[in-house]
Structures are given as C-alpha cells and as structure tokens.
Structure 1
Amino acid sequence: MPTPLEKPAATAPEAGQGAAGVPPRIVPKAHAPRLRALDGLRLVAALMVAAYHYGGRDGDVTAAWGGSPRHQFPTLHSWFAYGCLGVQIFFVISGFVICMSGWGRPLRSFFASRASRLLPSYWAAVIIVTAVFALPTVAYKAVSPSDALVNLTMLQQPLGVDRVLGVCWTLWAEIRFYALFALCIVLPGATRQRVILFCASWTMAAAIAQAADEPLLNLVLMPEYAPFFVGGIGLYLVHRDRRDAYAWGIVGVSWLIGQHYAVRGLWHAPNPDFFSYRPAYGIVLIVTLGYLAVAAIALGWLNRVNWRWLTVAGALTYPFYLVHEHLGWVAIKVYHRDLGIPSYGTFLLTVATMLLLAWLLNRYVEERLAPKLRGALSRPRP
C-alpha cells in the first residue's frame, strides 16, 4: 500500500541534460509538505472496500450476518457492491506515491522504505487472524500452521498456499509493481524521460501480454492492473508539471484501458442469481471519479484540505485494510447475532472496531518496528 507522502519539487536542471547527454537525477526536497488530501482519499478507498466486504456481496460474511447482506441492507447493498472498485483507486494512488517516493532515492533506501512500510503490520495481522480463527468459538476455517508460516513471506499466492488474509492478493500485485519500478526506474535513476518510457513500454507490453494470453507474461506484466499503476505515475508527472503533454497522454490512455478492464471484470448482465447488478456506466463513473480525485490532488486543487487528522487517517489505512475483512466477520457475528444490534449499527460498530484495531497496530507495531527495520535494511554493509 502507499506510504506517507513527501512532495518533491522539480528543479531547474530537469529541463536540460547532464554530462554526455545523460538526463540528470532529480532529488526531492527533504521537508516538502505532506499531501494530506491523498491520505484522506486512501481512507475513503479502504472504507469502500470494507463496505463491499460487509454488505456488497455474499460469501463468508453471510454466515456472520445469519443471512445475505442484501436482506440486511435492502437499499444500500447495491451501492456497497461498487466498493470493490476501491482497489483500482488504491492502485492509482500507489502509482502516484511510489513514483514520488522512489524519485531520487537509491535502490537500498527504496527497498528499505517499502519493506518497513508493508511488513510489520502485515506480520501482526497474519498472526492475529490466524490466532483468532484457531479459537474454538470462531466457526471460520483456519489455515494450516505450515500455510500460516508461508503467509509471512507474502508469497502465498504464487506458491498456491491458502491465504490468511483475503485482501493479500492486492499486495501481490503491489509487490510486482514495486519490482518493475525498482528495476526500471529506481536502479538506473529516475528521470522524466525514463519514467515516460517506462509507462509507455509497460502499457504496450501489457497489451501484447493480453493478446498473447501467455501466463508468464500475464503474471509479470499484470494487464488488468497495469493501467491503474501507470495512471498514478502519469498523475505524479502532472503534479511535477501540469503542462506536461506526455504526462496527460499517459493518464488519458491509462484511464481508457483501465475502465475497460474494470468493466470486463465486474460487469454482468442483469441476473437474479448474482448478488447485485453493477451496470457498466456505474463502473466507469467510479473509476473516473477515482482518477479525477487523484488529479485534483496532483494539480493542487485540494491543497486547502490540510487537516492534521487526515495524517492519522492515512496512517490507519493500511492496517485497517489488512484486518477489516476476516476480523470484521467475527465482529459482525458478535454485534449482530450475539448482542442483537441492528444491521446498520453493527456495520458502523464493526468499522469503528477495525479502525481502533488499526490504530493499535499503527501505534504499537508500526511506530516501533518500522524504524528499526528500515534502519537495519538501510545500513551499508562492508
């Protein structure tokens, strides 16, 4: 997931060339202001996904409610069904943030930043969910001890191991994006020309992979997710220079392709056997609003949205995202079926409980372990 943001500023040498015609590397400002509106958007996307998991689909959550969520939320369930598109918005934000945080940063520092951001809360979430699901009073199936250990590597999905966290499939997409960006941009050094070439090459290669239908190419190039990451990168280039025609071209092409994959993956014809009907225009609208929200932040239109509490919201987003689904099922059962709290009250209480747990993870896991892990990974070795 995206990390806390530091806004780099373009410097004069970017317009020219360095020695021997090599584009210069641009180092970000050390104390640039935080884009708090982006923190808020991240939390909105996480809450969208939570609404989908709690009330926008059938599945394990049905057992928690004691019936289909469509009966618990007869009016809102059709709106909650759009919440899964929060993932696509996350990927756009991730492209923006990773390009920003990786610009001017050496590979060791980039890797240390990513690992220290992702791993502490992830390890804690895997341990907590595994322990809770192992309780005899919890009816959900726990993974085997061996599979739980593999989950700590974040490689459970390619290894075909049962997942402890249902949402970790998105982390596997993020890791592949980080690897591509690190090899193509961070390792040689970020420049505008190199980033544009990366976006164009990845877009073309992903289209070829889709046409070839080759599993290995699809695994590496992620045709269905690449447009959103590329769109976020393009929006970061817009953030650096709003008059950059190439950046706007990257954003436009990525939106056109991204809405196609979103519609293809989530649309279906009206059918009573489906949980809810998401018309194509609704999917396109949500994807478009996600792009427009990040674009508004990139252009500085939301700079006045600078409330300090948004920093806290941004810090809670990742741990909330990790724990909300599986532990949310347990909370829903306790609040709704055991304590008899009405559906809407249960929904709000479950979200609040998961936010509280996210705060605890941020306060007592991330804030303590992340700096130590970052320091250990950043320290040069002889």
Structure 2
Amino acid sequence: MTSSPVSSLPRKAPVYGLDAVRLLAAVLVVVYHLGFKVWAIEGSMLNAALGAVIAYPPGWQLSWCGWVGVQVFFVVSGAVIAYSAQGVSARSFAKRRAARLLPALLIACAIAFPVAVLVFAVPPGQAAWLALKTLTFMPWGPWIIGQFWTIPVELCFYAVIWAMLASGRAARGMQALAWGLGLASAGYWTAVATGLLAGGGRLTELLLFQHGGYFAIGMLCARLGNGDLRRRHLVLALACVTAAALQVREAASWEMAGRADLAGRWPLAYGIWLAITALVALSFLYRDAIAVRAKRFSGALRLAGLSTYPLYLIHIHVGGAILLAAAPLGPVPAFLGAMAGSLLASLAIAAWLEPPLHVVVRAAIGQVGRRAMALPRLRAG
C-alpha cells in the first residue's frame, strides 16, 4: 500500500508515531539521570546520596547527552498542542490540559514525598513545602521533583494558546505564534552567542525566549499532517534549528557542571535532537501510513505514550531509590534495575492509577466550571 504525504484521515486522527517519540525522549532523560548524572556529576541530589563518583560510567558516550530529551519534549508539545487545539473551545482546551497534567502529578508527589524524606534525608517540613509548590504549579523552584522545571514552561505555552482560543483568533493566531516564538528564540540565542545577553534565567524560560523555537518547530511539524506547509515556513524552520543549535550548546555547559571535556561534544546532543525532531515531522507527514501499519499495536503504543509523563516525573525517586539500594552490585546492574523499576512503575501508573483519577479530576473541573458560570446569573438575579 502506497502512502501519500498529505493524510487522508480526519484532521485529528491519532498520530501514533508521536507515542514512540515521546517514549524515546523520556528514556533519554532517564538514561541521563540514572546512567550518567548520578555517577559523574558531583553535587547532584542522587550523587550526594550515592556518595561516590565515576567520571566516566559505563555507556557514558551516549548517556551523558540524554538531557536533550527535554528539548524533544518541547517539540512534541508544540506539535501536539497545535494539532489538538484546532476547533476546540478555550474551556475544553483548559479542561483537557488539566486532566492530562494533574493525575500523574498527584501520584508522583505521593511517591516523591516519602522517598525524599526517607531516602534523600529531606526534612519533612521542607519536603511538604516543596510538594505543595509542585502541586500548585509554582513557576519558581525548587520543587520536590527537580525535573518539574519544564512543566511551568509548558504551562506558559498553553496559556498563550488558551488566550488565542478564548479570543476566537486561533486560526490566524497559531501561524503568527509559531513565527513569533521561533524568531524571538532565534534572536535571543543569537544575542547570547554574540555576547549581547547573558544566557539563562528563569524569567526568560517562562517568557519562552529560551525554548520558544522548539515549540515553534513542533507547530510546523503539525502543519505537515494537513499538507499546508509553505516554502516561507522553511525560513522559520531554519531559524528554529539554528536557535536549537545555540541553545543546545549552552545547555551542554549547564548540564555538565564544569565538565568542559563533555560540554564540547554538544554537536552529538544536537544531532540526536535533530534526528528525533525529524521523526516528529515524519510522524505527521506519513500519519495515515503509520496508522495503518500500527493498528494492531495501537493499544500498546498509546499506553507507551501515556506512560512517558509519569516516567518523566517519577524516575528520580523510584529509579533513584532502586539505584541507591543496588549500587553495591555495580553501576550496570544498579542502572538496569533502576531503569526497569522506573518503566514498570510508569506503566502501572498509566494503566491503572491515572484512569480513575482522570475521571475525578474531570468531574471536579466540570463542577468548578458550572459554578463559575452560575455566578453571573446569580448576581444578575
């Protein structure tokens, strides 16, 4: 069966390739934290608990740059939101995002709190405060889940999309937003690269200057599924991939915490990001062909995609606790056990624990929405 680049399926047909990409991105991050950072980066939470340093743990040639999975997540988020928000009301969009984010976060915090206290020796009062900051989506850290820093960045992107939907200008606004995010991010990183600005800072993350190019290129990938990508969009794509190169180079120095020997290898991390981003684009370009071939595995693919968010949230506390317990066996057995435990726990959360919580969260959101809508009528009466 031949495939056409422009999908003949409904506009919101499942994009099964993204589920595989999500899982790959999450695994990259987990491999970095549990296979490299815990052993090689002094001062990290897990390394402090481990109390040992291996400058070059087994498999370091690939594991050291697994942090680039975060950049992949931003691309996927831009693509998914641009694709799924078409024709959706602002209220429906907000409900869906809340129902997607909250259940796994509740479970992850319930896991993280006792592990932080009992394994990482965080004082209970401090752990409770960090958990509260996490559950209330405080944009400034620290949080009980360190990698949570990306979620407020995502929320800022969602907020812009919601505002467009609420204004009724989403159709035209989406394209303008992609251009704005991409060019602003390219300009920001060019200024950093030329010394006009100092890179970093939480505010520039929340304002989407640092990662806006990733969201923008994801939005361009989503357009491939509808066949409406034009030549002018190549200019935007070039700006985004240039911004990504500059951002990855800077991120390499941040992540390596003074490891100049590895920070200088940033082109490898960038190449991995570029290759996986190409997979995101292909997932939309050949959406129909992939859907036909993946039909018998659609349930497994969907579960894999749903498990990536819990995996991202829990792997430090679940996998880290296993790794610390198994550390006397050596880095390889400890890492494999931590990986297996993290994956199994995330699958269990996605398959059994999240679904009933989704129902509860959706009902609660609906009730809040109905009460909010009833207030004006009560005041008028």
1:294 CA drift (Å): 0.7
> Aligned partners of 1:150, 1:183: CA distance in 2, in Å?
25
Matched with 1:122 is 105
TM alignment of 1:158-177, pairs within 5 A: 158=140, 160=141, 162-177=142-157
Q: In the alignment, does 2:178 pair up with 1:199?
A: yes
Report matched runs for 1:94-243 at 5 Å: 94-135=77-118, 138-142=119-123, 143-155=126-138, 157-158=139-140, 160=141, 162-185=142-165, 187-191=167-171, 193-206=172-185, 218-241=204-227, 243=229
**Cα deviation, residue 275, structure 1:** 7.3
Are the equivalent residues in 2 in contact too, given 1:235–1:248 (CA < 8 A)?
no
Q: Tell whether 2:72 aligns with 1:93.
A: no
1:39 aligns with 2:22: no
Contact 1:40 1:310 in 2 (8 A): yes
CA distance in 1, matches of 2:240, 2:129: 40
User: Which residue type is aligned with residue 357 of structure 2?
Assistant: L
| Structure having the larger proportion of residues in helix | 2
Tell me, in whole angstroms, the C-alpha distance in 2 between the residues paired with 1:141 and 1:287: 35
The 1:216/1:51 distance shift into structure 2, 3 A limit, reads closer
Q: Distance in 1 between matches of 2:203 and 2:310?
A: 31
Q: Distance in 1 between matches of 2:248 and 2:166?
A: 29
**Distance in 1, Cα, partners of 2:304 & 2:351:** 13
1:79 corresponding residue in structure 2: 62
Counterpart AA for 2:252: L
Q: TM-score, normalised by structure 1?
A: 0.80
Q: CA RMSD in A?
A: 3.0
* Pairing 1:309-348 to 2, within 5 Å after superposition: 309-337=300-328, 340=329, 342-348=330-336
CA distance in 1, matches of 2:90, 2:75: 22
37 and 247 in structure 1: CA distance in 2 versus 1, 3 angstrom threshold:
same
Cα distance in structure 2, aligned partners of 1:198 and 1:233: 9
Matched, 1:61 2:52: no
Name the SS of the counterpart of 1:34 in structure 2: coil
- Could you tell me whether the CA contact under 8 Å between 1:166 and 1:326 is conserved in 2? no
Q: What SS is found at the alignment partner of 1:323?
A: helix
Note the C-alpha offset of 1:242. Answer: 5.5
Matched position secondary structure for 1:276:
helix
Please state how far the C-alpha of 1:279 moved relative to its aligned partner: 1.6
Q: Are residues 1:281 and 2:267 paired?
A: yes
- Number of aligned residue pairs: give it: 345
Q: Which amino acid aligns with 1:45?
A: A
Q: CA deviation at 1:244?
A: 2.7
d(CA) in 2 for partners of 1:316 and 1:9?
Answer: 27
| AA partner of residue 226 (structure 1) | G
The answer to whether the 8 A contact 1:235-1:251 is kept is no
Displacement, 1:165?
Answer: 0.1
* Cα distance in 1 between the residues matched to 2:128 and 2:168: 41
- Give distance in 1, aligned partners of 2:212 and 2:282: 21
Aligned to 1:17: none
Q: In 2 relative to 1, CA 305–259 (structure 1 residues): closer, same or farther, beyond 3 Å?
A: farther
